[in-house]
């Protein structure tokens, strides 16, 4: 604690003092969940059942740091994607960049959104692993709950879960008929609709259909064409078919489709970052050639941006009870992902470097699980296999005017190719009751992964630009195999009734990979040793819930993103150290009032990391990298997307009326400064900020619900992510911003 800034220390201390007085994160249960207590009738905090350990159990009995948000809470917030719930989970940072979801848990996540890149936070929907982070933004409708597992999940989840796992669980078909619909209208011409229908076809067959349409006008303008940008137009549909021919066999088939076509995901200009080798600031080339700064929400591009994405998939889940305590489960899935983004590396008024991003992925996965559930043992044994093919590219014609030549485009930059992945694993984990209060958890997973790449990279200054001209540069072919054993050992003990303490040690592993289109050697795997202590308690006869966790991580070969030439690439940082504290409190002092507080303090720093910065070729003046190039020693720098503290405070109060109830909810979120790169540049960051949201909901006993909302009440411009673009353009800072103030009304009806 000696190194804590005073402000962070005070805030963190305030969070823990709250244990004895009030505070916060309500983990609401979906009203349809059979395991959920009725908080309105009991006046206590509702419980929620999770499957974080691949078996159903109360979130308060799960000996790991997991946050669960039920469907009712998601509906209250009007959540339509992961960015809507980031503040509700300590240690979670979610942003969007070029159509990709940048998920970070406790300082670890995805720091590179180039084609073929993968996150260090696993994303799963209904048990299916989604390899492509872009698809993580397309799944929020008809959701039963969201589970966020913080910390390495190397045993049960394995692949790419060194930072944790985000699990989306959608509503299953029901044999009783249920249906509902909602319509949201708001500023920026927002019209969002959702609907679901579930019913039994026979005594053994049930179906469920759900869909969503989202539309809103642009949050900004292209000032050169007067066209809206950062708008949204998307459609999604999901269908599920449930067979229960007898009490032992269950078969669930599902399929989903998502399409988006709009002018979102374009780069915005944030300022200058370049310096000469002697330290003289560099003005971006676009401004020197007569361009203009359009402001953080607008762009100035000759070509309007475009975003097109399609994701679809299917799954088959077969569960069979071998005995009353032993069951077998098979999960087969196929995922297809395609996106194309047209953007501009110089969105400041001069047509110098338009750029396109494209990626197509086809993924097949298969998992088998054997579950033993007795009074003494909670055992899961399984095997996993995945095959994925990715074709991706980044391409942009280059204007010779940038280099002082005529205003003429050459073929310019191309980077792309094919990446193939085969991954397999076997795993087992058992929680054994030593006594009725003390349990021991032992687990292990062996992961094997092979990656093969055939890629191309070129910067063609000689040939005139011809749209669609084929790339003729040589293909670079390489492959590499990775493997690792990731164990887990944990103890949990019931100190008192509804008070559990736990401690664990685990390892995490993320396979090495190739930077698609760079023709460079494979990266080393990312590995972590993680230690965690935690406390989960329900006190005051169910009126106070207090969950605490502390952790320490030792990372080696952390995969960190940077700009190299015109390409976003990953490279291995030597080592990183992360430790922190998290708290989740919910207080229900009286029947109709719920107060929540969740807070995190994070110390995520590089222990050893030396790297060059093309925007500052002189380095720090006394450091050279392994190639003898002037570089920076980044030891002690904060990890990207890792604020030192976050605090989320909420309060909700309900008034009972003759025909229903009226509920007022307010939320306030504080975040410390967020750096977007390992270099910790002030212009490449979002300074400390706070944001408030408010909701007013009128519920009628008939099933009608009216919700008025205002988000980002202060209409603050908050940077979501950023990067330094090509040195050929004078190293401008480009990035993305979060939505402005939005408000509207949602009308919903369930029966």
Q: pLDDT tens, 119-159?
A: 888 889 999 998 887 777 776 899 999 999 998 998 988 78
Is the distance from CB of 592 to CB of 656 less than 8 angstroms? yes
Predicted confidence band of residue 7 (pLDDT cuts 50, 70, 90): very low
Cα gap 671→669, rounded to integer Å: 7
Q: Compute and round to an integer the Cα radius of gyration of the chain.
A: 26
Residue 220 makes CB contacts below 8 A (sequence gap 6+) with 228, 229, 230, 268, 297, 298, 299
Is the distance from CB of 430 to CB of 420 less than 8 angstroms? no
**92 exposed, middle or buried (CB, 10 Å; 0-12, 13-18, 19+)?**
buried
Task: Enter the DSSP assignment of 225.
Answer: T
User: Cα separations (Å) of 701 from 190, 192, 658, 660, 750?
Assistant: 28, 24, 9, 5, 10
Predicted confidence (pLDDT) at residue 720 exceeds the cutoff of 80:
yes
Cα gap 615→280, rounded to integer Å: 11
Which residues, in sequence order, are bridge partners of residue 456?
416
Task: From 733, 645, 631, select the one nearest 682 (Cα to Cα).
Answer: 733
Task: From 133, 146, 139, 140, select the one nearest 97 (Cα to Cα).
Answer: 133
Residue 182 makes CB contacts below 8 A (sequence gap 6+) with 75, 192, 193, 194, 195, 705, 746, 747, 748, 749
663-704 pLDDT, tens per residue? 999 999 999 999 998 999 998 999 999 999 999 999 999 999
Task: From 47, 49, 51, 162, select the one nearest 104 (Cα to Cα).
Answer: 162
Secondary structure class of 81 (helix, strand, coil)? coil
Number of helices and strands in the chain (H, E): 4, 42
Question: Could you tell me the two tokens for 278?
Answer: 């002697």
The CA-based diameter of the chain, rounded to the nearest angstrom, is: 80
Cα gap 371→378, rounded to integer Å: 7
From the CB of residue 161, how many other CB atoms can be counted at a distance below 10 Å? 29
| The pLDDT of residue 111 | 65
Cα gap 625→635, rounded to integer Å: 13
Predicted confidence band of residue 22 (pLDDT cuts 50, 70, 90): very low
Q: What percent of the chain has pLDDT over 90?
A: 64
Secondary structure class of 183 (helix, strand, coil)? strand
Is the distance from CB of 363 to CB of 131 less than 8 angstroms? yes
240-258 pLDDT, tens per residue? 999 999 999 999 999 999 9
Which residues, in sequence order, are bridge partners of residue 384?
367, 425
Question: Could you tell me the two tokens for 282?
Answer: 């560099």
Q: Where are the beta strands (DSSP E) in 518-566?
A: 526-539, 544-564
Backbone angles phi, psi at 680, to 5 degrees: 55, 45
| The pLDDT of residue 566 | 63
Q: How far is CA 540 from the centre of its chain?
A: 35
Task: From 219, 227, 223, select the one nearest 299 (Cα to Cα).
Answer: 223
Mean pLDDT of 570-578: 85
Task: Enter the DSSP assignment of 277.
Answer: T
Q: Which CATH superfamily is domain 6-353+367-396+452-496+504-750 in?
A: TonB-dependent receptor, beta-barrel domain (2.40.170.20)
Cα gap 649→633, rounded to integer Å: 38
Domain ranges of the chain: 6-353+367-396+452-496+504-750
Question: Could you tell me the two tokens for 14?
Answer: 């305030």
494-509 pLDDT, tens per residue? 999 999 999 999 998 8
67-90 pLDDT, tens per residue? 999 888 888 787 877 788 888 899
CA dihedral over 167, 738, 111, 98, signed as positive or negative: positive
């Amino acid at each position: 604690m000696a190194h804590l800034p005073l402000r962070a220390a005070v805030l963190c201390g305030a969070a823990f003092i709250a244990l004895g007085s009030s505070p916060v994160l309500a983990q609401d249960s979906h009203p349809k969940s059979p395991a959920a207590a009725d908080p309105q009738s009991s006046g206590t905090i509702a419980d929620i059942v999770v499957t974080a350990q691949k078996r159903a159990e109360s979130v308060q009995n799960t000996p790991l740091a997991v946050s669960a948000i039920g469907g009712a809470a998601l509906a209250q917030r009007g959540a339509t994607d992961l960015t809507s719930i980031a503040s509700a989970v300590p240690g979670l940072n979610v942003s969007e960049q070029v159509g990709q979801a940048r998920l970070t848990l406790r300082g670890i996540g995805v720091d590179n959104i180039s084609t073929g890149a993968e996150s260090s936070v696993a994303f799963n929907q209904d048990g299916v692993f989604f390899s492509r982070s872009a698809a993580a933004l397309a799944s929020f409708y008809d959701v039963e709950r969201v589970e966020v597992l913080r910390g390495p999940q190397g045993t049960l989840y394995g692949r790419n879960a060194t930072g944790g796992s985000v699990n989306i669980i959608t509503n299953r078909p029901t044999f009783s008929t249920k249906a509902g619909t909602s319509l949201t209208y708001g500023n920026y011409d927002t019209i969002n609709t959702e609907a679901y229908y579930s019913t039994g076809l026979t005594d053994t067959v049930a179906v469920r259909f759900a869909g969503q349409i989202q539309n809103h006008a642009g949050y900004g303008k292209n000032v050169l064409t007067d066209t809206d940008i950062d708008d949204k137009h998307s459609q999604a549909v999901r269908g599920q078919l449930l067979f229960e021919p007898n009490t032992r066999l269950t078969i669930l088939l599902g399929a989903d489709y998502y399409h988006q076509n709009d002018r979102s995901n374009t780069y915005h200009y944030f300022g200058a970052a370049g310096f000469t080798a002697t330290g003289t600031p560099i003005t971006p080339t676009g401004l020197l050639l007569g361009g203009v700064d359009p402001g953080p929400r607008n762009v100035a591009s000759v070509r309007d941006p475009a975003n097109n994405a399609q994701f679809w998939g299917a799954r088959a889940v077969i569960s069979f009870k071998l005995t009353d305590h032993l069951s077998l489960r098979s999960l087969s899935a196929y995922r297809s992902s395609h996106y194309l983004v047209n953007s501009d590396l110089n969105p400041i008024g001069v047509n110098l470097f338009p750029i396109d991003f494209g990626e197509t992925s086809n993924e097949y996965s298969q998992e088998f699980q054997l579950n033993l559930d007795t009074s003494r043992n909670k055992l899961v044994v399984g095997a996993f296999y995945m095959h994925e093919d990715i074709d991706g590219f980044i391409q942009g014609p280059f204007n010779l005017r940038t280099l002082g030549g005529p205003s003429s485009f050459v073929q310019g930059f191309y980077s792309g190719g094919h990446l193939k992945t085969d991954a397999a694993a076997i795993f087992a984990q058992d929680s054994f009751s030593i006594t009725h209060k003390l349990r021991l958890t032992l687990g292990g997973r062996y992961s094997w992964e092979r990656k093969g790449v055939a890629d191309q990279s070129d910067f063609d200054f000689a040939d005139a630009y011809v749209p669609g001209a084929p790339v003729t540069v040589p293909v670079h072919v390489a492959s590499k195999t990775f493997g690792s054993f990731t164990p887990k050992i944990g103890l949990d003990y019931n100190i008192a009734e509804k008070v559990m303490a736990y401690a664990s040690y685990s390892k995490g592993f993320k396979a090495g990979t190739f930077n698609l289109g760079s023709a460079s050697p494979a990266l080393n795997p990312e590995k972590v040793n993680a230690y965690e202590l935690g406390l989960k308690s329900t006190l005051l006869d169910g009126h106070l819930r207090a969950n605490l966790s502390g952790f320490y991580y030792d990372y080696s070969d952390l995969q960190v993103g940077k700009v190299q030439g015109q390409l976003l690439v990953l490279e291995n940082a030597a080592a990183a150290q992360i430790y922190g504290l998290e708290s989740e409190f919910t207080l229900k002092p009286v029947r109709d009032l719920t107060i929540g507080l969740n807070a995190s303090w994070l110390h995520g720093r590089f222990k050893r990391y030396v790297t060059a910065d093309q925007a500052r070729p002189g380095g720090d003046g006394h450091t050279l990298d392994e190639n003898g190039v002037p570089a920076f020693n980044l030891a002690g720098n904060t990890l990207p997307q890792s604020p030192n503290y976050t605090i989320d405070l909420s309060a909700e109060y309900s008034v009972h009326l003759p025909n229903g109830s009226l509920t007022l909810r307010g939320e306030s979120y504080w975040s410390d400064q967020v750096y977007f790169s390992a270099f910790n540049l002030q212009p490449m960051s979002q300074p400390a900020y706070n944001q408030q949201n408010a909701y007013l909901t009128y519920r009628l006993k008939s099933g009608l619900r009216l919700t008025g909302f205002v988000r980002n009440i202060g209409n603050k411009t908050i940077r979501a992510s950023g990067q330094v673009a090509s040195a050929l353009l004078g190293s401008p800072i480009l990035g993305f911003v979060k939505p402005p103030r939005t408000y509207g009304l949602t009308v919903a009806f369930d029966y």
